[in-house]
Amino acid sequence: MERPRRREPARAALAAVVLGATLAAADAARAVEPRTTLSLDQYARGNPEGVTVSATLARQWDQPDGAGPLAQGRYALASAGLGLCPAWAQLSLGGEWVPVAPLQLRAQYDLFGFFGANGALLAVAGPDARFGRDELTALAGRERAGLGHRLLLAPTLRARAGLVILRSQTDVALYRLTAEAGFRYESEYDTLVGRDDVVLQNRTALLVPWPGAGAAVLVGPVHEITWAARADLARERIGGLAYWTPAGPVLGLDRPRILVYAGVNLRDRNRAGEPFAIVGVGGDVDVAPRRAAPEPTSAASRP
């Protein structure tokens, strides 16, 4: 089974998919040609509610495996994507590089176009404002149309011991909004941001194959913490992730997938002690397929 590549990590649901999708295979046939892939995904979440669809076109170049575990599974990738939800449309340009097996580096620029409805650029009273379901409903009508810019840096540490996979991804999101001074509700990270702001998020997961399911199903616990700088606002979650992908194509998709990520908010201004859930479905289409090397390389020591 071929090792799936890393996809755009923009929304929280998308980032959760990344935890499973890049690590789903235990053994991989190293490619001898680049591959161009179109990824199609849809995500729905509860508490807070939201739906997003996205399409990402990516070109990946694998490096030959070298001697030792650190020189396995290296690659470079360039991508362009479109995302859409009821509040905004998003254009993304990104690049990703794995210089050594335990380290994955990604940089991405996002341009948001806010529709002025459904919570877009929703103004709140200040950094201490609440933004639970009732509060957001009461603020309806205070949305604004406009643009937003974000630079996303996402270093990821990866490790593997036997069947156990460790993945720790940190998002450093730098925001610039074309809006008047004050604080706005940001639905992706479910937090408050100023006109110029920084949001940090770390998500760490321990994943193992489901017994008897081989590499097609990964399950495990996830810990997540998010902090917005201007509002000095933190949220902590703990949950579980299950990621499923079949061994072959389904309905014309080369790598179909289903993700479920659910848990409880341990520390949250609006939702402490309440459950949350994210469900994602999607798949890839190989636009320009590539040949696999005739002799597969074992990835038993590859994170």
Contact call for residues 60 and 5 (beta carbons, < 8 A): yes
Q: Are 247 and 27 in contact (CB under 8 A)?
A: no
Q: Which residue has the tokens 């790598």?
A: 255
How much is the average pLDDT of 73-98? 96
**Cis peptide leading into 48, omega within 30 of 0?**
yes
User: Which pLDDT value is given to residue 213?
Assistant: 57
Q: Are 104 and 158 in contact (CB under 8 A)?
A: yes
Q: Answer yes or no: is pLDDT of 135 > 90.
A: no
Q: Is the model's pLDDT at 1 over the cut of 50? A: no
Single out the residue of 83, 78, 76, 80 nearest to residue 62, CA to CA. Answer: 76
Token pair for residue 299? 């990835």
Give this prediction's pTM: 0.82
Output the pLDDT for position 3. 39
Classify residue 80 by its DSSP letter: E
Measured in whole angstroms, how far is the alpha carbon of residue 296 from the centre of its chain?
29
The answer to whether the beta carbons of residues 17 and 290 sit under 8 Å apart is no
Give CA separation, 156 vs 164, 169, 243, 256, 289, in Å.
17, 4, 19, 24, 27
The token pair at 209 is 């194959």
Higher-confidence residue: 269 or 11?
269
Residue 74 has pLDDT above 70, yes or no: yes
pLDDT at 299: 35
Q: Above 70 in pLDDT, residue 5?
A: no
Over residues 136-148, the pLDDT tens digits come to 888 888 888 999 9
Query: Residue 303's pLDDT is what?
Result: 37
Would you call the peptide bond into 246 cis, given omega within 30 degrees of 0 as the criterion?
Answer: no
For residue 22, pLDDT beyond 50: no
Residue with tokens 């702001």: 197
- Distance of alpha carbon 9 from the chain centroid: 3
Q: Which residue has the tokens 């409903």?
A: 137
At 270, which amino acid appears?
Answer: N
Side chain identity at residue 257, one-letter code: R
* H or E element at residue 133: helix 133-138
Answer yes or no: is pLDDT of 30 > 80. Answer: no
Side-chain-side CA neighbours of residue 299 (13 Å) = 26
Radius of gyration of the chain (CA): 19
Q: Which two tokens stand for residue 66?
A: 């070298």
Cβ within 8 Å of residue 162, ≥6 positions away: none
User: Could you tell me which of 221, 300, 301, 298 has the C-alpha nearest to residue 263?
Assistant: 221
Single-letter code of the amino acid located at 10: A
